[in-house]
Amino acid sequence: MVFAFLLVAAVGCGTTAALTYRAARSAVLEQTQNTAVSAFREQVDDLNISLPLDETALRERLLYIARLGKPRPWRVYAEYGTLRVSSTDRPTSSVLTPELRARAHAREGTPHTAFQRVVKGDTPYLTMAVPAVFLTEKDGTAQPTGLVVYAVMELDEEEANIEAMVTAARDGALPALAIALIPALIAARGVLRPVRELRHAARSMGRGRLDTRIHAKGSDELSDLARTFNQSAAELERSVTELRRAEARARRFASDVSHELRTPLAGMLAVTEVLDEDAGTLDSDTARAVRLISAETVKLAVLVEDLMEISRFDARAAELHTDEVDVADCVRKTLSSRHWTDPEQVHAALGEGIRARLDPRRFDVVVANLVGNALRHGRALVTVRVYVDDDGAPGTPEGPEAPGASGGTLVVQVSDRGPGIHPDVLPHVFERFYKADPARARSAGSGLGLAITQENVRLHGGTVEAGNHPAGGAVFTVRIPR
């Protein structure tokens, strides 16, 4: 806007100066030109010509005419055939052009005065030509005598006056541009202030402050934009508030349902244990039904426990109870407690002597969920690697660490030799109840294992990533600061 204001002011000043210069130049030059031409014609008309011409008398007459020049003295020249006479020490002038001579010797009609402005050597001149005539006694018409008188007058004073006008116009344009800068800044400030307010408000909303509003006044487009922003912000705040309430109700519902199911499930588990013990004494159909009820009850209990764990994460009630532990020892205990000790199913490549501050219970859940997921959805052999990455970048397992060492990043990598994870599925593997195969009605787990794993790793300040090994199979990598 400042540039536009200055551009308009500059164009206005430039146009005004150009028009003023043109008009002033024409007025100054025409006034000088008319005065000089009129005076020169009068002097030539008063010139008494007697033929044949006397060169000395003609020179004296030319000197007299030169002294009477208006508005300044002239240099006067006369040409008659081959005769050249002047009021100067040179018989002719280089300023006189052939065009002026041709117009002065024109024989069509009555001889008339000719003039021309010429610039020579950066100096402007006014050149004039007046043919000397005599009047016939019969009808009084003017007839040329063959003598042409020329006058040359410098226009340097007029040119200086014109240059002074140009300088004055230029000097007047600069203050005009400076003055135009003031309303330009005021106008730009008036436009940019609401734009800045809108930017700050949008940035504030981006930080989560949905109650941000803009003070809108006036009836211009920016005021309409501010009102539209306020309306959009109010609608967004209302929608987000409703979503948060719905999310809170859903979390509370899941938590309440999980708590309510724990007591009856405890009783059902006790009953199914008794039924499992007596299943051998029952007929085959009844025994099959008893074992099915027992298995489904166990799955339901696992689902309820996972739902309660997720609800604690959602409520920000989950806490870490860390201790300095031997990581390899923890992984071995996890595999042993789940009976994953068959070397053809699970291979443990554990760096010995690696210690870190971890919550043993939550770390056990992380390892168990990743290995269990690999056994269910991948293919043996499942490999568990534990090592320390000193710079936090992907690397290879390190050698043994000294006890008590705490630098670098603890890396736990679980890989299998299955078909791997489809690229379309990779971004969603940690989502709750996500199914890679929509046609699969049920899964062996609760569908929350990887989501719980991710939350437990986040509590430790780490990250978990899913990917595919170049040789085939899925790879899950956990990184936790030691």
Query: DSSP string covering 93-159, please?
Result: -TTS-HHHHHHHT--SSS---EEEEEEETTEEEEEEEEEEEEE-TTT--EEEEEEEEEEEEE-HHHH
- Position 296 scores a pLDDT of 84
Pairing of strands 355-358, 382-389: unpaired
pLDDT of residue 407: 74
pLDDT at 401: 46
Amino acid at 123: T
Distance between CA 146 and CA 83 in Å, rounded?
11
Which residue, among 81, 87, 85, has the nearest Cα to 69 in the 3D structure? 87
Q: Between the CA of residue 275 and those of 265, 284, 290, 299, what are the distances in Å?
A: 15, 13, 7, 17
pLDDT tens, N- to C-terminus, the chain (482 residues) = 788 878 888 888 788 777 877 777 777 778 888 888 888 888 888 777 677 777 888 888 888 888 888 888 889 999 888 888 898 888 888 889 888 888 887 755 556 788 888 888 888 888 999 888 765 555 556 667 788 899 999 888 877 887 787 777 777 777 777 787 888 888 877 778 888 888 888 899 888 888 888 888 878 888 888 889 899 999 998 898 888 888 778 777 777 776 777 778 788 888 888 888 877 787 888 888 888 888 888 888 877 777 777 777 777 778 889 999 999 999 999 999 999 999 899 999 998 889 999 999 999 999 999 999 999 888 889 999 999 987 644 444 444 444 444 578 999 999 999 899 999 999 989 988 776 655 454 555 567 889 999 999 999 999 999 999 988 899 999 999 98
Spatial neighbors of 443 by CB under 8 A, at least 6 apart, are 376, 435
Question: Which pLDDT belongs to residue 15?
Answer: 82
Q: Residue 385 pairs with which residues in a beta bridge?
A: 349, 413
Residue 332 has what pLDDT? 94
What is the H or E stretch that residue 313 is in?
helix 284-314
Q: At a CB cut-off of 8 Å and minimum separation 6, what does 90 contact?
A: none
Question: Is the CB of residue 145 less than 8 Å from the CB of residue 101?
Answer: no
Q: How far apart are CA 98 and CA 104, in angstroms?
A: 10
pLDDT at 139: 57
pLDDT for residue 398: 44
Looking at residue 281, its amino acid is: T
